[in-house]
Structure 1
């Protein structure tokens, strides 16, 4: 009996290692046939002088990096902004994390001519990458084809600091696993770096919550090839993407 259990555990471990590091589990190669005309031809600067590349997906133009600014466009210092794990090295890699109240300040967080994407604008992006209208309007982990893979810069978070990491970036959106700042009443101040990405939209759902999007880089996770749409507490610190006016 012990030998049988040992064999089962060994096979499970081998399969996990294979799926995690070597297979294309969760990556639908048919997405390469999507007609995505992504062109990058503009560089935008924020108030702090940070530069952002852009990409056109469908009829929208998005920044390809998470926002890193510490000032609104009028020069006012942003409150409710943090760095993952309070590590300055993560700014270039992940961008900064913003509480929702910071992103809707009338002073303006995105550079002139740009704004934080709304829930509807995220839906437009998702539908441009193949999601059906019905699923775009639903909540939870949603998938029609493989929109999550289309949004990600790298297929495997495990290879984040490894030269063997596989770059896919089909759409040019270049999503990275930037993690999140948790609420003040939770034990861990940061969560999910290297495994998850969480993005605020500019759309409020109720007084204490706003709509968000999440991606996950864990191949055995039920959402590994999906995009999460939900409504979370505004105190969380999430990444921000700007879209052109």
Structure 2
């Protein structure tokens, strides 16, 4: 068993001897009861023949123990019927929908807690690194005119106030996000449009933003509609320009160019949305946005 998540896992097997009759079907079978067999509908079919195979187990229940066995079925012939053999029984338990992650550190030694939300492991704070994964520095650009014309990676603090980095992390342009040297820490990446959308759907669609937002008004302006932070994502607002407006909304980069649009997708929540929604929008290359990384 490997890559065990809340509703999926990976298994497989290896057929080293077919007993003299070719293998017509192979895969794994699973159940919440011991010794599952192929009479159950919960199985994979992963090709035929000898050798190793990988099985993707899906549509599981979170926080549930399963029993799994590999199987191999011989082909039937004129003088014999198909016969199925089973491998050793294994057990595994899926993750809860919400779980604390193992955390991570970046190239500069900054430490981040992480949370697992419906099988996706996210950083619990915004990225705060000033170097690419290989150690090359990312320029800090504080001048608005220079920022508007630069075509390479850059970062800055909210309102150009250094102390904001501790709480809010750094803001990056699109060129830093997509630089081949890698902005995200080793083993992590900038989330795709699909991964942001999966988070939205897993959290029930419209109320997703509220489940991500920090509660109260320490960082958000009133009314901070719908905020529960039940995921421990602890989204706090960020604004690329003035300190006085920093409490209004939070926006993060995706790594995906918006189809039919002049720029990439970004995702955000705000303090007063009636739905507390997690919403996509089309950004531009030079916008100043936060980064939340997701584990590979």
Q: Distance in 2 between matches of 1:209 and 1:161?
A: 28
Q: Distance in 2 between matches of 1:109 and 1:159?
A: 29
Higher RCO (Cα < 8 Å, 6 or more apart): 1
Q: Distance in 1 between matches of 2:208 and 2:169?
A: 22
1:48 is matched with 108
Deviation at 1:43, TM superposition (A): 2.0
Confirm or deny: 8 A CA contact 1:153 1:175 kept in the other structure: yes
156, 175, 199: which is aligned to 2:252? Answer: 199
Gaps in structure 2 of 5+ consecutive residues: 1-95, 139-152
Confirm or deny: 8 A CA contact 1:45 1:52 kept in the other structure: yes
Render the CA deviation track for 1:160-180: whole Å, top value 9, x for unaligned: 399xx9983111111110223
Deviation at 1:207, TM superposition (A): 7.8
2:52 is matched with none
Q: Are 1:216 and 2:270 counterparts? A: yes
Q: Distance in 1 between matches of 2:192 and 2:268?
A: 14
Deviation at 1:48, TM superposition (A): 1.2
Q: Secondary structure at the match of 1:179?
A: coil
Distance 1:191 1:98, change over 3 A: farther
Q: Distance in 2 between matches of 1:64 and 1:236?
A: 22
Name which one, 1 or 2, has greater alpha-carbon Rg: 2
Q: Are 1:66 and 2:66 counterparts? A: no
Alignment of 1:76-155 (within 5 A): 76-78=136-138, 79-131=153-205, 143=206, 146-154=207-215
- Give the TM-score, by structure 2 length: 0.57
Confirm or deny: 8 A CA contact 1:180 1:198 kept in the other structure: no
280, 283, 294: which is aligned to 1:229? Answer: 280
Structure 1 vs Structure 2 CA RMSD: 2.6
Confirm or deny: 8 A CA contact 2:177 2:190 kept in the other structure: yes
- Give the TM-score, by structure 1 length: 0.68
Q: Secondary structure at the match of 1:177?
A: coil
